[in-house]
């Protein structure tokens, strides 16, 4: 339920409304929409009499929210959420470029790639230490040592780190990680979502391979219900009948999510296509469609990468693409003004 207040509501009447709702076990989120203050009510609102609230002097309107996601819902929070990470911001008109190797393979590898992508305009270093691999015989990531190498690359470049958390037990190791990635395979690991909701680091939730927008937003809701509002969504393609590409990139997700939620939207054309030559056109398409940033896999030697070489760009390819993406973002802003 959303309570839209009149302009300059009487502070005492507002406080007594808030206290009355809180006594009924309702959690209240305040935000601003079209100049009016909004109260977003979360909890069991079925016993709240909307007519009673509508009749109050300070209330302009009362709306029931049909969607099961509340905190993540744009109706609750009309303004875009901007997630601050170190010196950079995700959302709010920026183009975030998260880049790096699928897997951290060595200190030299990740430091060299971090330096290269930073010079090309990347704002975050993305690399995997704990890897969700389809086969138990594939390289599983360097684990804790990989996290240490990411930290060294962060110390050397200043780039914030985004890396995947696969299991609750790994959380204490993530002290120096800046954004926790929840992978597609864990999008509905509800215990993991609850755990990252109870801590403060921003969380990027990748879309499950067959997840609907609503299921994906409910995963965000899990994190937000725990008190962590710094959630980022990442479209990484969904499973369809097409086998030519690794997945099918759903660019419609960008405008649809923009309508349904206030959370920032990142697009991952690397996992969506599985082919390095498709990363460029789809990244451009994602920027033209209005995403807040991209996640792009970059490897200094894709042919010998331990994971996802075929979809990885070489640093020089990333450099050329990053320049185009940043120019396109500026161009899109000018034609939308
Ligand atoms: C990844 O980002 O490295 C990854 C494994 O992606 P996804 O969870 O989208 O498959
Ligand atoms: Mn990968």
Cβ contact 312:117 at 8 Å: no
What six digits make up the tokens of 190? 């509800």
83 C-alpha to center of ligand 2: Å? 24
Report residue 89 CA to chain centroid gap. Answer: 12
Calpha distance 174→158 (Å, rounded): 17
From the CB of 41, is ligand 1 less than 6 Å away?
Answer: no
pLDDT given for residue 71 in this prediction? 95
Beta bridge partners of 293: 96, 266
Greatest alpha-carbon span in the chain: 69
Say yes or no to pLDDT of 337 above 80.
no
Cβ contact 295:126 at 8 Å: yes
pLDDT given for residue 32 in this prediction? 83
Q: Compute the average pLDDT of residues 83-105.
A: 96
R_g over Cα of the chain: 21
Residues of the chain above pLDDT 90, percent: 95
CA distance to 33, 45, 244, 283, per residue, from 230 (Å): 19, 25, 35, 24
pLDDT in tens, 19-38: 999 999 999 999 887 788 99
From the CB of 269, is ligand 1 less than 6 Å away?
Answer: no
Cβ contact 170:132 at 8 Å: no
From the CB of 299, is ligand 1 less than 6 Å away?
Answer: no
From the CB of 142, is ligand 1 less than 6 Å away?
Answer: no
Residue-averaged pLDDT of the chain = 96
From the CB of 132, is ligand 1 less than 6 Å away?
Answer: yes
Task: Indicate the top mutation candidate among 150, 181, 250 to test ligand 1's pocket, ranked by most ligand atoms within 8 A of CB.
Answer: 181
DSSP for 56-77 reads STTEEEEE---SS--TTBTTT-
At 183, is the pLDDT very low, low, confident or very high (cuts 50, 70, 90)? very high
Sign of the CA dihedral 171, 177, 182, 186? negative
316 C-alpha to center of ligand 2: Å? 19
330 C-alpha to center of ligand 2: Å? 28
Cβ contact 1:62 at 8 Å: yes
37 C-alpha to center of ligand 2: Å? 43
Calpha distance 266→232 (Å, rounded): 7
* Ligand 1, atom nearest to 103 Cα: 3
Cβ contact 132:98 at 8 Å: no
> What phi and psi values does residue 30 have, to the nearest 5 degrees?
-100, 145
Calpha distance 61→265 (Å, rounded): 30
CA distance to 281, 290, 325, per residue, from 251 (Å): 12, 10, 16
Cβ contact 117:313 at 8 Å: no
pLDDT in tens, 299-328: 999 999 999 999 999 999 999 999 999 999
> What phi and psi values does residue 180 have, to the nearest 5 degrees?
-90, 125
Cβ contact 208:239 at 8 Å: no
Task: Please tell me the number of the ligand nearest to residue 297's CA.
Answer: 2
Tokens 């290269």, located at residue = 116
Task: Indicate the top mutation candidate among 124, 132, 232, 311 to test ligand 1's pocket, ranked by most ligand atoms within 8 A of CB.
Answer: 132
From the CB of 236, is ligand 1 less than 6 Å away?
Answer: yes
Nearest protein CA to atom 2 of ligand 1, as residue: 183
pLDDT given for residue 277 in this prediction? 98
């Amino acid at each position: 339920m959303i309570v839209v207040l009149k302009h300059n509501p009487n502070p005492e009447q507002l406080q007594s409304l808030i206290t009355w709702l809180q006594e009924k076990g309702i959690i209240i989120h305040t935000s601003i929409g079209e100049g009016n203050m909004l109260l977003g009510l979360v909890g069991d609102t079925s016993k709240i009499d909307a007519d009673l609230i509508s009749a109050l002097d300070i209330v302009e309107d009362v709306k029931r929210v049909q969607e099961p996601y509340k905190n993540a819902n744009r109706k609750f929070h009309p303004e875009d959420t901007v997630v601050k990470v170190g010196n950079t911001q995700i959302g709010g008109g920026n183009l975030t470029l998260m880049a790096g190797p699928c897997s951290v393979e060595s200190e030299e590898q990740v430091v060299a790639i971090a330096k290269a992508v930073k010079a090309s305009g990347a704002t975050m270093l993305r690399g995997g230490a704990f890897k969700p691999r389809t086969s138990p015989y594939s390289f599983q990531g360097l684990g804790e040592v990989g996290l240490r190498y990411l930290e060294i690359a962060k110390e050397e470049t200043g780039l914030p780190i985004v890396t995947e958390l696969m299991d609750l037990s790994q959380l204490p190791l993530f002290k120096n990680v800046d954004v926790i990635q929840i992978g597609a395979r864990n999008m509905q690991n509800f215990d993991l979502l609850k755990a990252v909701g109870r801590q403060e680091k921003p969380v990027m939730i990748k879309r499950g391979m067959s997840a609907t927008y609503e299921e994906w937003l409910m995963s965000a809701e899990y994190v937000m219900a725990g008190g962590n509002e710094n959630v980022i969504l990442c479209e990484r393609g969904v499973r369809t009948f097409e086998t030519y590409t690794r997945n099918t990139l759903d660019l419609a997700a960008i405008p649809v999510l923009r309508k349904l939620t206030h959370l920032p939207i990142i697009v991952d054309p690397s996992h969506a296509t599985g082919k390095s030559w498709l990363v460029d056109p789809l990244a451009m398409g994602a920027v033209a469609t209005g995403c807040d940033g991209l996640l792009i896999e970059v490897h200094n030697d894709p042919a010998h990468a331990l994971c996802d070489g075929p979809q990885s760009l070489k640093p020089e390819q990333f450099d050329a693409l990053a320049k185009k993406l940043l120019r396109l973002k500026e161009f899109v802003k000018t034609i939308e003004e």
